[in-house]
Structure 1
């Protein structure tokens, strides 16, 4: 198992790309054992070509916004990556942090795993979701207030990546401060084996799908 911690994701605070993601609001989802096309189909996304890099994805999304502003539709981009236990699909959407609908994520996780994190932009709400074999196992905004069918299963990993928690999952007042978003990205890597870097997002060829309101 990777020993990644929040420190390994310190790059997000100096990254123009990540700043753009948080400004617009984003969802980044990792799906095991499904192709990009299968994931976009499950999202009921209408195929709309490809884009080079996150900049191309953002341009496609902005072009859509010019035509249909102020709704909750967006253009999602997906590409394949290698991770733990095989092939994964990474999906990125500048979607104001809406994320995948829970029934969609549950379906995609059957026989596999789905891990997602998001930020809604503005005064941020940062969410994390872990689905396993059709079930929402753990979700949280604050790691001390966890939901899902097994809300405490990730406590050891949450502590390992640097989040200030006690052994029973309460806030540890004596622990050092940590960048919580960086820790969540590290947690996602612990669960997927996929290292998300600026170059990975910036250089990938994305398969695009228009997700309607």
Structure 2
């Protein structure tokens, strides 16, 4: 993960203290996305695993990094952003993204349907074909994501497991922004109505330049009414 190693931390309290100290050091640089992560060894399926806990905003560590980490092994990464929650799940195997999703019925990756039976087993409301099942009860997606990670690693993440760990701390540097060519909005509402829009980088750049030019243009105030006459210097009747 290309981290700098600032030391160790005892339990989640030590990890949180180190992360908060890092943000204090960064001051008002709110755009910086570096963060402190803690790692430690824990027994799981087929041997020991490295469990990593980090406060990265909840969107998971950068894909190129995870692809490298999973070479010759497996990386399973459930994450959440808190607040109005976005719960994401990523499963990498030998450098390949096998399955990822926010909504379990909209899966992506090289094998998006391989985990359908496990998704159903941990409570996600899916049919046997992997479609959303309106008749099934809803589920706590954060809890279900952790349960799915349990199935794939043999590690049950509990409060005591995280709180009692002796973490090796690492300062994860800000990742370079990925190049992009377009932005797509694809939303289907509760009535089945779909909104699909795609904007290319060129269109967005042109709109940004136009907005910037308009914002920097001089402000001209005009009026169709004649100017008021100032009579303060004239005497009565003049």
Question: Could you state the TM-score of these two structures normalised by the residue count of structure 2?
Answer: 0.70
Greater share of helix: 1
Q: Deviations over 1:174-197 (max 9, x none)?
A: 112221211111000000000110
Q: Does 1:170 align with 2:131?
A: yes
Q: Distance in 2 between matches of 1:168 and 1:83?
A: 30
Q: Deviations over 1:151-189 (max 9, x none)?
A: 000000000111110011111111122212111110000
Question: Could you state the TM-score of these two structures normalised by the residue count of structure 1?
Answer: 0.78
Q: Deviations over 1:104-130 (max 9, x none)?
A: 111111111000011123222211000
Instruction: Find the partner of 1:90 among 51, 58, 61.
Output: 51
Q: Deviations over 1:72-114 (max 9, x none)?
A: 0111100000000111000000111142211111111111100
Instruction: Find the partner of 1:119 among 73, 77, 80.
Output: 80
Correspondence for 2:141: 180
Q: How far apart are residue 67 of structure 1 and its match?
A: 1.1
Q: Distance in 2 between matches of 1:184 and 1:75?
A: 23
Structure 1 residues 58 and 185: CA distance shift in structure 2, 3 A: same
RMSD: 0.9
Asked if 1 retains the 8 angstrom alpha-carbon contact of 2:87 and 2:141, the reply is no
* Structure 1 gaps, min length 5: 1-42
* Structure 2 gaps, min length 5: 175-238
Larger Rg: 2
Q: Which runs of 4+ in 1 moved over 3 A?
A: none
Correspondence for 2:3: 45
Aligned residue runs from structure 1 range 41-80, under 5 A: 43-68=1-26, 69-70=29-30, 71-80=32-41
